Amino acid sequence: MEVTLRVFRYSERIEPHYDVYPLSFSGGKTVLEGLFDVLEKQDGSLAFRYSCRSAVCGSCAMFINGSFRLACQTQIKDLKSSVISINPLPHMKIVKDLVVDMKPFFKKLDMILPYLIPKENPPEKERLQLPRNRKRVDNYIDCILCGACYSSCTVAATDEYYLGPAALTKAWRFMADSRDGGTAQRLAIVADEHGALRCHTLFNCVEACPKQINCTQAIQNMKKKSVARILGFI
Amino acid sequence: MRAAVEAAQYADTAILTLVHPVRSHTVAAQGGINAALANADPSDSTERHAFDTVKGSDYLADQDAVEIMAGDAPLRIYELEHWGVPFSRMEDGRIAQRPFGGAGFPRTCYAADKTGHYLLHTLYEESRRLDVKTYQEYMVVSLIIDRNKCKGVIALHIPTGELEIFSSCAVIFATGGAGRIYGRSTNAVISTGFTIGIAYHAGVPLKDMEFVQFHPTSLYGGDNILITEGARGEGGYLVNSRGERFMSKYAPTAMELAPRDIVSRSIQTEINEGRGFDNAYMHLDIRHLGREKILERLPGIRDICIHFAGIDPIDTPIPIQPGQHYTMGGIDTDHDGLSPLEGFYATGECGCISVHGANRLGGNSLLDCVVFGKRAGEHAAKYASNLEKPDEGIGRVALEKAKKEMMSLLESHGTENPSALRRELQETMIEKVGIFRTREQMEEALAKVKELKRRFRDIDLSYTGKPYNLDLAHAWEVGGVLDVAEVIVRGALMREESRGSHSRRDFTQRDDEKWLKHTVATATPDGPQFTYKDVVITKWQPEARRY
């Protein structure tokens, strides 16, 4: 198979532009493997992030042929295109080429108290949690913090204080956990014009998520709780 | 992460990391973490866990260390649960446990098939609770050593391309294994073994490096991504091209749940004898578990199969082949992760205590990380808190040396492509120092490693800019791991027996009289110097290993 990788290039001293690299291969090849081919054989100056190459570490979220994808999880042949256009995550500051500045993303994650706040002192052994309660965090705990949702979110792009889908989903992951007692503390943070209430319910995050996490549902759940809190019901 | 979370409670602690902490290879661990909680079977005990580990190690593990690991396991698991790891649960709400290879009881605590992911994220969350500083995208390139004590590291800041001094009273390496020295590795691309090389080059001995684990089930045609042992723990079958569950020939009692060394050899034997598919792979069949169980217990595996091999394991058997998976050996340390170099610790896969001996049991690597990570963190931090902060200028000599090394890499204008050298190394190691080994092949491998070292002096870097220079980082890595590869090959050549993962065609038996001992390799200007250390035996005398 013959394709062309059209890769976004930028660094402090180089104006943004696209470089084009031919790539021929047979069988399966992921976009990440294609980028490695370019780096190793054609252009050693290319910058991108990688680690696990198995869709679980969250390093390689990019904007590929118009969609948010993990480069490692995307088979080139599945894109059904002779030109593969590879861009860094939109709406984020570019460090170099496909590498973006994730600091604002992680800073917002820190704001929602991203750790379990136990209801009470834990017992000597494990806390008991019934399977049906454990099930309530399913899906939400699959987040790999790749940033695709945050990058796809129109609201995050226009309100620099908006917490964004990943941080909010993390907040909900704890609120939904029967072992957690931090709901009031977290609601005080997310029931805010830059928190859950800012979400426009566009579902961009759901569409962008490579792990099929329903971020919008998580945010909707918190909107309900936020309203209840504002009205003094909880 | 576990070491940092512990150390932060006693001393000023920072995490220096090549990638963001949640991108590290722990995140890819799937099947679970062992602890004799006796939830699934009340007759399990920490002593049985220790015995299974020792037997699994082919009696090369130090039994006192194994007893610490098995003994502390339940405490560490409860602690992880308290911190928020979303373990899968039994009907009554206790932590669920599944059967795993080489274990006498269902002992592997799990969270679906994404245990490492949830565990690493929870530890990261714990580090946020404690507000541990992190310095990200720093590639450590050397140790700062002052009067025979480790006083910090020199690291390359990838985004800027600048070398920086990090002075400290103690250093803990928790940097993972050397999987990517091999081809067909399940490991993350960042598990290069480079940091093991840093320790070795600083004069810290490496232990038992010839013991390299091959996981029986890595995805064929999918870049050898790991397919968890949990797939067999949940009842999956291994089937050859004749439709036979061939494990009945090799491990009639344990079948698919024999330890990894045995299952990998069995698969490879079937393939070598012409009973594989396309002479390359076997089937792992989980169809009979049914859709519901697969979706509940093995959802991650299903996603991997769909995205990376284009098949759905609910309807189709999974094509698998053995792949390099784990580095049993590593930086020589004691029970607190302390190496022979004062102030320098190693824990997790990069270290070797040894609790895994010649073959690690599935579910014991995450456990190793949390049990000995805690111990290393505590020991290092207590040691550090009794010391004066090192002088800022302490790393200047090391910095200058690293700068020279970087300049010589950047200014190299030879003909060799460092990435091509790495691929040749990977191919050589998997072909010639793999599951089955012979003197002849290993000597060829050694010659190849020497050739690659020679050719490395003639490399060419295509990019010489500073920010985010992956070309430079990769070249540096390749140069660093060639010596580690040499230690693996020479250690394997010298060990004239078969034990655990080290299986020689020319010495097919375990030889306790001569080889019940650890290999210790120390760097000298003439290459590695080998000495040997006794194995610690407390309760269990070596006996034949049957499953």
In whole angstroms, give the CA distance from residue A71 to residue A98: 11
Active-site position among B48, B180, B232, B260: B260
Tokens of B336: 């607190």
Which one of A33, A54, A141 has the shortest CB-CB distance to B118? Answer: A141
In whole angstroms, give the CA distance from residue B1 to residue B8: 10
pLDDT in tens, A71-122: 999 999 999 999 999 999 999 999 999 999 999 999 999 999 999 999 999 9
In chain B, residues with a C-beta closer than 8 Å to the C-beta of A52 are: 23, 25, 27-28, 188-189
Residue B57, in any domain of the structure: no
Contacts of A65 (CB under 8 A, 6+ apart): A79, A81, A84, A85
In whole angstroms, give the CA distance from residue A48 to residue B481: 22
**C-beta neighbour count of B79 within 10 angstroms:** 18
pLDDT in tens, B329-375: 999 999 999 999 999 999 999 999 999 999 999 999 999 999 999 99
How much is the pLDDT for A234?
Answer: 78
B304 at the A interface (CB within 8 A)? yes
In whole angstroms, give the CA distance from residue A75 to residue A55: 12
One domain, residues B310 and B415: no
One domain, residues B522 and B407: yes
Residue that is written with structure tokens 């907040």 in the block: A171
Return the CA Rg of chain A.
20
Residue A109 near residue A63 (C-beta atoms within 8 A): no
How much is the pLDDT for B231?
Answer: 96
**In this complex, do B89 and A122 lie within 8 Å of one another by their Cβ atoms?**
no
Please measure the distance between the N-terminal and C-terminal CA atoms of chain B and give it in whole angstroms: 35
pLDDT in tens, B21-75: 999 999 999 999 999 999 999 999 999 999 999 999 999 999 999 999 999 999 9
Told to judge if B437 belongs to the known catalytic residues of this protein, a careful annotator would answer no
Q: Is B427 exposed, middle or buried (0-12, 13-18, 19+ CB in 10 A)?
A: middle
In chain B, residues with a C-beta closer than 8 Å to the C-beta of A64 are: none
Query: Which of A56, A138, A173 best tests the B interface by mutation, with the highest count of B CBs <10 A?
Result: A56
User: Least CA distance to A110: which residue of chain B?
Assistant: B128
Residue B487, in any domain of the structure: yes
How much is the pLDDT for A12?
Answer: 85
CA of A231, closest CA in chain B: separation in Å?
Answer: 31
Q: What are the CA-CA distances from residue B362 to residues A63, B102, B350, B442, B524 (Å)?
A: 37, 8, 17, 27, 35
Residues 58-87 of B with CB under 8 A from A: 74, 77-78, 81-84, 86-87
Q: Which of B89, B174, B211 is nearest to B499 (CA)?
A: B211
Q: What is the CATH number of domain A2-100?
A: 3.10.20.30
pLDDT in tens, B112-126: 999 999 999 999 999
- Cβ-Cβ pairs closer than 8 A, A with B, add up to 170
How much is the pLDDT for A126?
Answer: 97
Using the 8-state DSSP alphabet, how is residue B293 labeled? Answer: H
How much is the pLDDT for B391?
Answer: 86
- Tell me which of B305, B321, B337 is where a domain ends: B321
Instruction: Note the ipTM here.
Output: 0.98
Provide the number of structural domains found in chain B.
Answer: 2
Which residues are paired to A3 by β-bridges? A23
User: Least CA distance to B84: which residue of chain A?
Assistant: A116
pLDDT digits (tens), chain A, 234 positions: 999 999 999 998 889 999 999 999 988 899 999 999 999 999 999 999 999 999 999 999 999 999 999 999 999 999 999 999 999 999 999 999 999 999 999 999 999 999 999 999 999 999 999 999 999 999 999 999 999 999 999 999 999 999 999 999 999 999 999 999 999 999 999 998 999 999 999 999 999 999 999 999 999 999 999 999 889 887
Which residues are paired to B14 by β-bridges? B133
In chain B, residues with a C-beta closer than 8 Å to the C-beta of A182 are: none
B118 at the A interface (CB within 8 A)? yes
B117 at the A interface (CB within 8 A)? yes
Domain locations along chain A:
2-100, 103-230
Tokens of B371: 């049990």
How much is the pLDDT for B35?
Answer: 98
Residue B279, in any domain of the structure: yes
Tokens of B85: 């790891």
Length of chain A: 234
In whole angstroms, give the CA distance from residue B38 to residue A157: 50
Could you give the dihedral angle defined by the CA atoms of residues B53, B58, B62 and B64, in that order, rounded to the nearest 10 degrees?
A: 40
Residue B374, in any domain of the structure: no
Task: Note if the bond before B503 is cis, omega within 30 degrees.
Answer: no
Mean pLDDT over residues B289-296, rounded? Answer: 96
Residue that is written with structure tokens 């890819």 in the block: B28
Residue B429 near residue B183 (C-beta atoms within 8 A): yes
**In this complex, do A51 and B190 lie within 8 Å of one another by their Cβ atoms?**
yes
One domain, residues B306 and B427: no
Q: Which helix (H) or strand (E) holds B522?
A: strand B517-524
Report the mean per-residue pLDDT for chain B: 97
Q: What percent of chain A has pLDDT over 90?
A: 94
Q: Which of B293, B291, B9, B250 is nearest to B132 (CA)?
A: B9
User: Which fold would CATH assign to domain A103-230?
Assistant: Fumarate Reductase Iron-sulfur Protein; Chain B, domain 2 (1.10.1060)
Beta-sheet pairing, B503-504 with B436-437: parallel
How much is the pLDDT for B206?
Answer: 98
Phi first, then psi, for residue A133 (nearest 5°) are -75, -40
Residue B350, in any domain of the structure: no
Contacts of B300 (CB under 8 A, 6+ apart): A56, B30, B112, B113, B114, B117, B228
DSSP string, B378-394: HHHHHHHHTSPPPPGGG
- Is the pLDDT at B443 greater than 90? The verdict is yes
Residues 368-427 of B with CB under 8 A from A: 417, 419-420
Residue B411, in any domain of the structure: yes
User: Least CA distance to B158: which residue of chain A?
Assistant: A47
SS3 assignment, position B63: helix
Contacts of A30 (CB under 8 A, 6+ apart): A53, A71, A72, A73, A74, A75, A76, B223, B308
Instruction: Domain of residue B292: give its range.
Output: 217-321
How much is the pLDDT for A27?
Answer: 84
One domain, residues B312 and B405: no
CA dihedral for B44, B46, B48, B49, sign (positive or negative)? positive
B340 at the A interface (CB within 8 A)? no
- Is the pLDDT at B272 greater than 90? The verdict is yes
Residue B432, in any domain of the structure: yes
Q: Which helix (H) or strand (E) holds B34?
A: strand B33-34
Residue B250, in any domain of the structure: yes
One domain, residues B403 and B525: yes
Q: Return the CATH number at B285.
A: 3.90.700.10
Using the 8-state DSSP alphabet, how is residue B485 labeled? Answer: H
Contacts of B481 (CB under 8 A, 6+ apart): B178, B180, B181, B192, B193, B194, B196, B197, B422, B425
Q: Return the CATH number at B470.
A: 1.20.58.100
Residues 310-339 of B with CB under 8 A from A: 310
Using the 8-state DSSP alphabet, how is residue A15 labeled? Answer: E
Which one of B95, B188, B221 has the shortest CB-CB distance to A51? Answer: B188
Q: Which helix (H) or strand (E) holds B452?
A: helix B439-456
Q: Which of B339, B367, B361, B342 is nearest to B351 (CA)?
A: B339
- Is the pLDDT at B392 greater than 80? The verdict is no
B218 at the A interface (CB within 8 A)? no
Tokens of A85: 């256009």
Residues 241-270 of B with CB under 8 A from A: none
**In this complex, do A127 and B82 lie within 8 Å of one another by their Cβ atoms?**
yes
CA dihedral for B415, B421, B423, B427, sign (positive or negative)? positive
- Within a 13 Å sphere around the CA of A30, how many CA atoms are in the beta-carbon half? 23
Which one of A54, A95, A126 has the shortest CB-CB distance to B95? Answer: A126
- Tell me which of B265, B289, B321 is where a domain ends: B321
Beta strands (DSSP E) in B192-343 are 206-207, 212-219, 237-239, 282-285, 318-327, 330-332
Query: Matching CATH topology for A2-100 and A103-230?
Result: no
The one-letter amino acid code at B115 reads T
How much is the pLDDT for B504?
Answer: 98
Residue that is written with structure tokens 């704890």 in the block: A174
Contacts of B75 (CB under 8 A, 6+ apart): none
